[in-house]
Chain A
Amino acid sequence: MSLITTLARLEAVSTGRARPAATVRHRHLSTRPLVFVPLTTAGEAGAPLGALVGTDRDAPRLLVVPQPRDRDLRFAFLAELADVVLPYVDGFAGAVEAAERTETDPETGKRVKVEVELCADAPQLIVPSRAGIDLVRLLGRSMRFRRTAEQDPETPFPAPPRVPLLGRWLTHFGERARVPGSSLLLAMTDVLARHWATGQSTLEDQHLGALLAWIAPPEGRSGAEAAQEAELARDADGQLVCPPAGPATDPAFDNKLLAPAIERYDRARTALAAAEDGLEADARLGALTAAERDVRALVESRTRPTWDAVWRGLDLLRELPQGARVEERWTRDRWSFTGHRDRVLAGEPPQPRRDDAVTAANKLAVREREQARLEAQEALDDPLVMAGRRLAGEAFAGEVVDVVMAYSESKRPSPRPLVTVRTDDRPHLGERTRVYRTLGGKPQTAEFAGYEDGGPDAGGDDGDDGGLLIVLRIMDKMGRGKEPEEGSVPEKGDRVCFTLFEHEPRGGAKLPDPEETPWTHGGPPGEEAAVPETADPVTEEDLL
């Protein structure tokens, strides 16, 4: 935890309210996000119990599996989910704009520009908490290898038609969510915790109710109190007043309310199956419908508060203006969405169960680059984030007090002006450390040339509060002429902010193609990788 976050959290504790950790919004928010509040069944990984899903905060669609262990009911749930999610996703696939991309020409091996489609907007899925993202991934994993009766008439448990496709999309969302700064799939707790510092631990911040209580406590109450209540308060029946955001449910709810309701549903179903004539069946069908309605009501009672909380979180986030470089990152999300749309359209097989060596290395490289980009962009977009970096010695801001023209010692001397900056920050500058500032949206590089008054510990800065005098040599972005271009060198009196970190992380080298995987990494993937994978085989232990 950085020093400034520690400070913000301490302030939150003493004031009883969350402190802002950002002055702008650092994630893209769609005008029409799809909110997904899922619940799972205790004791079985990834068995859905129900969900609220939709784009209209006043009219969520309630999906429920009245008996979560019933495979048919589970498929019905997934099919219904597909009916909500896929039309939403498809709604973004049609509107495209022309864009350019550099590709390697297979014949000449040269990098050429090609005209391609880029979707004008992309879908955005929002779940309440990080565990929700894991469930999205798990659902995707459980569905994408399923075969429909149409694909394979022999398959023992055919999936409803659009379920495998939903699995591929959820997998894509889940993978994209691992890329730092991406916004295709967001967890509300993560986004809120990025923008506010609360007086509780980061683990406690994963409770959406408690987090919102810190950020926007009810009138006349402190955040700490409200958060405590959100976490622990129970009603007369021993049920949590603010149900957990899921997908796991509270054990008291499972034991006291849910289990009996599911049991009633089971009994009604057994009774219906045993009905001997139409009249009896009619009556028993009524009982079954009533039992199912009970389970649905229970699921709704636990998801609706979370649903409302997610939308409240969206309201809070929308009050913040969007950071300047958020749009650029969202464009990358649009590329990601367009790419997967094209793979689906081209009839490519679902994402493999495991990445091969080259894919894994490529993904890691992309994520590391995006992480560096995100950290730099957040600081450049937001003075409060930059303040944290300055406090950590990774940036400094100050006033230009002197500019001396100088030239490089080469045959054709280029301008290398020396700029002296007075700052109260304490950057960790070493000999010839490179520093960067933004000039017309592009980074300009300078080199640390020394301290004017002997440095941070020569006594120059204590007492007389003159700050540090840092001499920088500007290195680039001054044009080709002998004299620097107008406005490319800071002038006396200018306020400047230099960072020690690069603004645009450099890409690494291109990795070999998967079919050229070297011997150190097991050689090219074998033949088995060429045939599409099947879902996990059904075993004796598969009761469900």
Chain B
Amino acid sequence: MITEAVASPAGSDPGAAAARATDAILDDTLHGTARGVVVDSPPGAGKSTLVVRAALELAAAGRPLMVVAQTNAQVDDLVLRLAEKNPDLPVGRLHSSDTDPYDKALDALENVRTSAKAADLTGLDVVLSTAAKWAHVKGVEPWRHAIVDEAYQMRSDALLAVANLFERALFVGDPGQLDPFAIVGSEQWAGLSYDPSASAVTTLLAHNPGLPQHRLPVSWRLPASAAPLVSDAFYPYTPFRSGTGHGDRGLTLAVPPDGSGPDRVIDEAAESGWGLLELPARHTPRTDPEAVRAVATVVRRLLDRGGATTSERSPDPVPLTAGRIAVGTAHRDQAAAVRAALTELGVTDVTVDTANRLQGREYDVTVVLHPLSGRPDATAFHLETGRLCVLASRHRHACIVVCRAGVGDLLDDYPSTEPVQLGTLVKFPDGWEANHAVLAHLAEHRVRWQP
């Protein structure tokens, strides 16, 4: 495994390394000649901060800027961050004509103008919207610059619809997260450089191989216990490091354990950053009642035991509240089942969502229902590298995985059998490899439990 960047002098300051990367990116964006700049960002590496900073600098340089994000929540978040950094900046929020198209908090901002028509927003320094909304904008003078956020989660056809709106662009995204998908088969175009179901960056680079590519080298979110595993398992050729050291983060529990499986796995995760609660092997429906209950119990005990976190942000312990915990699943019905189980245990305000919806979000502790738990087969969906990567990289302190035994055997019984398509870029590592890497690591933090 290539680990050159990680192997850089242990004493070197992660902050300095990150600043160097950011400076190079901004230099290429502001002064470079290429029409596009691509930035790969591992989980929690300060992607949003970079987008906001680049937007401010481009605006300061007097270049009209459009920002393309993928969801309304992402757009609203960027508008709020921009306004926070520079309240005087004239910002436009282009939105759809649905009811409640944007976060009401935007109305309170003095220099943010909202409209469903692009013509109302001309002349503003920065205009932000979703890719879907931008696609409807026609007959306007192209913007001199664009920033495309979450570009790896954007589909090639979505970029096709908006690319005539700008002359040059900065593409920012995380290549390790979930690839975009189509709800119908698209094998017909596999291997074509402009395969409409591929990611926007894949198409962009296939047609413009010479574009400068940068990488953010430091994850500020992932703790020192998680960054090496996530880097090795999901980014073997583009490693990154954690911005904090081993002693910088801590998770303590006020109430002593009661000896049950959930309590033991919580202790293990508090100590090491990882925990695997392994239930007996069994084939189950997707909404495996025992596993769902185990997930809910772990969350309940986390709250009951008075967890508190210390970190570089605050040396004084901060209580671990429901808002700082998330549960991640593969399917929506699993999320619904966990929500129901949590309500039964009287837990509210804990985020429960699928990997797709957890992308880009950050919590102190995550509890994950393993995508392959209890399954008789390993489909491409459940093996997808990005899914596991998202689930295993949302936490600042600890990640607890709930899983049935036997996933290792399942992986060996079902090697990946997807047809090979000529001309497509084979993604490394594949889901099989990544799953094994994560399982092998989790095995060291295993707590067996018979509910």
Contact = CB atoms under 8 A, between A and B. Distances in A.
A481 interface: no
Nearest to A6: B285
B343 A455 contact: yes
Interface in A383-400: 392-393
B189 A360 contact: yes
B194 A357 contact: yes
Contact of B36 (A392, A428, A510, A520): A520
Nearest to B148: A520
A521 B163 contact: yes
A512 B160 CA distance: 8
Interface in B136-192: 136, 138, 156-157, 159-161, 163-164, 182-186, 188-189, 192
B184 A367 contact: yes
Contact of B184 (A361, A371, A457, A519): A371
Contacts of A520: 36, 159-160, 163, 200, 203-204, 207-208
Contacts of B159: 520-521
Contact of A512 (B164, B192, B197): B164
Interface in A449-466: 455-458
A180 B132 CA distance: 23
A297 to B, nearest CB: 37
Given A358-B160, A519-B207, A520-B159, A364 B196 contact: yes
Interface string A489-509: 000000000000000000011
A468 to B, nearest CB: 12
A523 B182 CA distance: 24
A482 interface: no
Nearest to A445: B99
Contacts of B332: 428
A355 B163 contact: no
Interface string A511-543: 110001111111100000000000000000000
A178 interface: yes
A393 B336 contact: yes
Interface in B396-428: none
A520 B285 CA distance: 44
Instruction: Bin chain B's interface residue count.
Output: 35 or more
B164 A428 contact: no
B164 A368 contact: no
A353 to B, nearest CB: 11
Given A392-B333, A520-B204, A508 B183 contact: no
B135 interface: yes
B340 interface: yes
A523 B164 CA distance: 10
Contacts of B193: 522
B195 interface: yes
Interface of A is mostly: loop
A432 B161 CA distance: 30
Nearest to B134: A509
A4 interface: no
Given A521-B156, A521-B159, A521-B160, A457 B186 contact: no
A518 B203 contact: no
Most chain A beta-carbon neighbours within 10 Å: one of B184, B193, B208, B285? B184
A439 interface: no
Contact of A518 (B160, B184, B285): B160
B189 A522 contact: no
Interface in A423-450: 428, 432
Contacts of A116: none
Contacts of A522: 193-194, 207
Given A360-B189, A509-B135, A428 B160 contact: no
A428 B333 contact: yes
A68 B161 CA distance: 47
A3 interface: yes
A365 interface: yes
A365 B186 CA distance: 11
A364 B160 contact: no
A189 B186 CA distance: 21
Nearest to B189: A360
Given A358-B160, A428-B336, A508-B135, A521 B207 contact: yes
Interface string A111-151: 00000000000000000000000000000000000000000
A164 B329 CA distance: 52
A511 B161 contact: yes
Contacts of B164: 512, 516, 518
Nearest to A1: B286
A483 B86 CA distance: 48
A412 interface: no
B161 A178 contact: no
Contact of A511 (B35, B157, B184, B195): B157
A104 to B, nearest CB: 11
Contact of B197 (A6, A180, A364, A518): A364
Contacts of A272: none
B344 interface: yes
B169 to A, nearest CB: 8
Nearest to B193: A522
Nearest to B191: A354
Nearest to B35: A519
A372 interface: yes
Given A178-B185, A180-B184, A360 B196 contact: yes
Given A520-B208, A521-B194, A522-B207, A509 B161 contact: yes
Contacts of A393: 333, 336
A522 B100 CA distance: 37
B185 A511 contact: no
A364 B195 CA distance: 10
A509 B132 contact: yes
Given A180-B184, A355-B188, 5 more contacts: A364-B186, A364-B197, A428-B332, A428-B336, A509-B132
16 contacts: A6-B285, A355-B188, A357-B160, A357-B196, A360-B194, A361-B157, A428-B336, A457-B343, A457-B344, A509-B161, A511-B135, A512-B164, A516-B164, A519-B35, A521-B159, A522-B194
Across the A-B interface, the 7 shortest Cβ-Cβ residue pairs: A518-B163, A509-B135, A361-B157, A357-B194, A457-B343, A361-B196, A367-B184
